[in-house]
């Protein structure tokens, strides 16, 4: 069973959103300028940046733009992004953001499900290496 592993929040004003989430919820925020992305830590992590608490997830913030979801996105971890994309296409669903490699971390794509929701799918890079992923930086 695939599980939710990440969330993404699109925002209009990054500094306003940073202040809200850090001051209101105590979340830690780390900018990744080369990706126009902010990592959100909601729970303590280990040396690999994985949550220490079972069932907890961390996420990210990006500025709304054309071509990417304008609503919050849940991200589901999969064993094989290619196999999942094939299943998604077989269901008649749209690939919103094709498979991209995100640094040395993993592979990411966004799809529109049967109900019109945009969701992300993620495959850790250590699983992806055997699939011959192309080196593409994700700009969210």
Q: What is the C-alpha to C-alpha distance for residues 50 and 88, in angstroms, rounded to an integer?
A: 27
Q: What is the C-alpha to C-alpha distance for residues 68 and 63, in angstroms, rounded to an integer?
A: 10
Query: CB neighbours (10 Å) of residue 45?
Result: 16
Percent of the chain with pLDDT strictly greater than 70:
90
Q: What is the mean pLDDT of the chain?
A: 88
Domain contains 140: no
Give the pLDDT confidence of 41-81 residue by residue, as tens digits: 999 988 888 888 888 999 999 999 887 788 999 999 999 99
Looking at residue 15, which CATH number applies to its domain?
3.10.180.10
Domain contains 136: no
Q: What is the pTM of this model?
A: 0.81
Q: Identify the domain containing residue 28 by its residue range.
A: 4-131
Q: Could you tell me which residues are beta bridge partners of residue 76?
A: 4, 121
How many domains, the chain? 1
């Amino acid at each position: 069973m695939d599980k939710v592993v990440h969330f993404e929040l699109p925002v209009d004003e990054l500094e306003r959103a940073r202040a809200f989430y850090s001051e209101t919820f105590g979340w830690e925020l780390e900018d990744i300028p080369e990706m126009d992305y902010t990592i959100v830590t909601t729970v303590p992590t280990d040396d690999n940046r994985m949550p220490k608490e079972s069932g907890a997830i961390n996420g990210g913030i990006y500025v709304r733009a054309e071509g990417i979801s304008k609503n919050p996105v849940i991200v589901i971890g999969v064993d094989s992004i290619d196999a999942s994309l094939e299943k998604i296409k077989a269901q008649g669903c749209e690939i919103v953001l094709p498979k991209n490699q995100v640094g040395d971390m993993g592979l990411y794509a966004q799809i529109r499900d049967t109900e019109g929701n945009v969701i992300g799918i993620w495959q850790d890079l250590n699983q992806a290496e055997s699939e011959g992923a192309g080196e593409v930086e994700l700009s969210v």
